[in-house]
């Protein structure tokens, strides 16, 4: 039996028109509340009905209908400037509770405030075994809003490795007699129907389910020998007794190599630029994302097409001209840090590339090293100075003398442009 959970739609927004020029139009907009609520058998569901604060503050009678049957009547009061709530609570819902619900408010006149379409399924699909039978929050969908994409949930996998895409029935229910489909995008890559299996093109011999676990509602898909084209989003769809449910999606994600150990790698420019002064030491950064041990991987650093550093099976080989000048922080390999330290460099500026290989999986990252001379020898080139004509030089000298503060002349002394003359 499913564990009880609460589906609270009280905070759902109202569908408003583009403009609200008058009070009457705002009231009309408030009456037009349309919501869709999806739940699973055993849930507790709150159906929203917001009352406008701009109507009278007198007590009102709220009536809830399912179809044409009145199922609940109660009194509510809305204070001045406050919104009232006439929500309906349904506990331990069943599949037969599915249908259209309508909220009406009776005051000076009858007003239809809310229309709810409730869909109750026998089961749902979850991506974590620990979520089976546990309460969870279900976000209802509004007809005017686009359905949100699935969360970025799923494992990181290396090419050539195997992976399991999790999917479970909640509450725990046998899936032996159900129709099960797995999709990548719009392509069906696996079909289980009447005990028979059909594998999609390109996935022959690489996909399977744990058939012995179907009795317990485990419909997880095993994918072997992951290829680069396999990265992306997968969805499971189950059909049984006229009901069809889908999971939120599982994403197979790729291990990558970046220049900074940060979460938001979209802001890192490519190639990443490193500035350093000549004759010093510099660190060319490289980090695996997500963080994973690189001890068993093959790591190569290149300048252009020349390999200047090779780490393989715990052994190091240094390229010609770089002997004793290149090294990695081997203690940091367990944290996925494959940065290269370059010492005593002078003319080593240019393009560098880090290449990390693990089985069939290869990751690359480019870095541009800029070498700068020490500040005392640095020349900032601002371009050639324009050649001035004698007339322009004379005008410049005249302008300078006009702005120079003049000293008061002393009696009996004259000044020339070059030097003071003796007293006369």
Distance of alpha carbon 249 from the chain centroid = 15
Q: 261 and 179 in one domain?
A: no
Domain end: 253, 283, 303, which one?
Answer: 253
Q: Is 382 inside a domain boundary?
A: no
Structural contact between residues 199 and 223, judged by C-beta atoms closer than 8 angstroms: no
Q: Are residues 270 and 238 in the same domain?
A: no
Domain assignment present for residue 29? The answer is: yes
Answer yes or no: do 160 and 232 share one domain. Answer: yes
Q: What is the pLDDT of residue 142?
A: 42
Q: Which of the listed residues 215, 236, 253 is the one where a domain comes to its end? A: 253
SS3 content of the chain, % helix, strand, coil (to 5): 10, 40, 45
Instruction: Answer yes or no: do 90 and 160 share one domain.
Output: no
**Residue 415 maps to a domain:** no
Q: Give domain status of residue 366, yes or no.
A: yes
If we measure between CA atoms, which residue out of 38, 46, 5 comes closest to residue 246? 38
DSSP string, 152-214: S---EE-TT--EEE--EEES----TTSEEEEEETTEEEEEEETTEEEEPTT-TTTEEE-GGGG
- Measured CA to CA, the distance from residue 297 to residue 209 in angstroms comes to 31
Instruction: Please check whether residues 227 and 285 belong to one and the same domain.
Output: no
**Within-domain flag for 362:** yes
> What's 379's DSSP letter?
-
Q: Under a CB-based contact definition with an 8 Å cutoff, are residues 140 and 101 in contact?
A: no
- How far from the centroid of its chain's Cα atoms is residue 50's Cα? 33
Across the chain, which has 424 residues, the per-10-residue mean pLDDT values are 50 41 45 76 81 58 90 74 69 89 79 83 85 61 40 84 94 93 96 95 96 94 96 94 86 91 60 75 91 95 94 94 91 94 80 94 91 53 46 58 53 46 40
- CB-based contact 353:302 (threshold 8 Å): yes
Measured from the Cβ of residue 50, the count of other Cβ atoms closer than 10 Å reads 21
Same domain? 156 vs 107 = no
Contact of 197 with 210, CB cutoff 8 Å = no
359 shares its domain with 273: yes
Instruction: Tally Cβ neighbours within 10 Å of residue 382.
Output: 6
**Count: domains in the chain:** 3
Of 223, 257, 252, give the one whose Cα is nearest residue 362. 257
Residue 420: inside a domain = no
Task: State whether 364 and 270 are in the same domain.
Answer: yes
Query: In the prediction, which pLDDT does 238 show?
Result: 95
Q: Is 391 helix (H, G, I), strand (E, B) or coil?
A: helix
DSSP sequence for 43-60: -EEEE--EE-TTS--S-E
Question: Given this model, what pLDDT does residue 266 score?
Answer: 56
The CATH code of the domain that includes 301 is: 2.60.40.10
Q: Is residue 406 part of a domain?
A: no
Q: Cβ–Cβ contacts within 10 Å for residue 420, how many?
A: 10
Domain boundary, last residue among 229, 253, 277: 253
Task: Please check whether residues 265 and 349 belong to one and the same domain.
Answer: yes
Q: Are residues 248 and 283 in the same domain?
A: no
Residues 215 and 238 both lie in one domain: yes
The verdict on residue 408 lying in a domain is no
Which single residue is written with the structure tokens 């449910």?
Answer: 245
Burial of 378 (0-12, 13-18, 19+ CB in 10 A): exposed
Residues 16 and 104 in one domain: yes
What 384-387 contacts at long range (C-beta under 8 Å, 24+ apart), as own/partner pairs, is none
**Structural domain containing residue 362:** 256-375
Measured between alpha carbons, how far is residue 56 from residues 112, 146, 389 in Å? 16, 35, 87
Residue 407 CA to residue 17 CA, distance in Å, equals: 79
- Confidence at residue 355, expressed as pLDDT on a 0 to 100 scale: 97
pLDDT value of residue 44: 83
């Amino acid at each position: 039996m499913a564990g009880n959970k609460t589906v609270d739609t009280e905070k759902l927004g109202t569908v408003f028109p583009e403009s609200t020029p008058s009070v009457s139009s705002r009231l009309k907009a408030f009456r037009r509340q349309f919501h869709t609520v999806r739940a699973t058998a055993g849930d507790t569901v709150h159906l929203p009905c917001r009352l406008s604060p701009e109507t009278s503050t007198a007590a009102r009678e709220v009536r809830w209908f399912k179809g044409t049957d009145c199922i609940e009547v109660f009194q509510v009061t809305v204070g001045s400037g406050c919104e009232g709530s006439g929500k309906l609570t349904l506990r331990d819902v069943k599949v037969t509770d599915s249908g259209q619900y309508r909220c009406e408010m009776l005051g000076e006149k009858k007003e239809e405030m809310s229309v709810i379409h409730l869909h109750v399924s026998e089961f749902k699909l979850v991506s974590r075994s620990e979520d089976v039978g546990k309460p969870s929050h279900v976000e209802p969908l509004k007809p005017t809003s686009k359905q949100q994409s699935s969360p970025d949930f799923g494992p990181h996998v290396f090419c050539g490795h195997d992976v399991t895409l999790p999917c479970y029935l909640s509450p725990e229910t046998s899936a032996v007699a159900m129709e099960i489909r797995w999709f990548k995008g719009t392509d069906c890559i696996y079909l289980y129907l009447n005990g028979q299996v059909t594998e999609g093109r390109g996935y022959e011999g690489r996909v399977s389910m744990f058939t012995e676990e179907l009795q317990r509602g485990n419909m997880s898909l095993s994918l072997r020998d992951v290829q680069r084209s396999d990265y992306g989003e997968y969805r499971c769809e189950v059909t049984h007794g006229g009901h069809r449910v889908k999971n939120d999606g599982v994403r197979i994600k790729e291990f990558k190599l970046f220049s900074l150990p940060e979460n938001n790698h979209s802001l890192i420019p490519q190639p990443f630029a490193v500035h350093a002064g000549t004759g010093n030491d510099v660190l060319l950064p490289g980090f695996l994302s997500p963080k994973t041990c690189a001890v068993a991987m093959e790591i190569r650093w290149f300048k252009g097409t020349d390999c200047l550093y090779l780490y393989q099976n715990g052994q190091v080989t240094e390229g010609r001209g770089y002997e004793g000048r290149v090294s990695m922080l081997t203690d940091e390999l367990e944290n996925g840090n494959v940065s290269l330290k370059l010492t005593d460099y002078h003319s080593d500026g240019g393009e560098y590339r880090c290449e990390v290989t693990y089985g069939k999986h290869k990751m690359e990252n480019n870095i541009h090293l800029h070498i700068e001379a020490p500040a005392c020898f640095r020349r900032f080139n601002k371009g050639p100075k324009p050649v001035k004509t004698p007339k322009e030089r004379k005008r410049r000298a005249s302008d300078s003398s006009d702005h120079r503060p003049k000293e008061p002349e002393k009696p009996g002394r004259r000044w020339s442009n070059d030097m003071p003359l003796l007293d006369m």
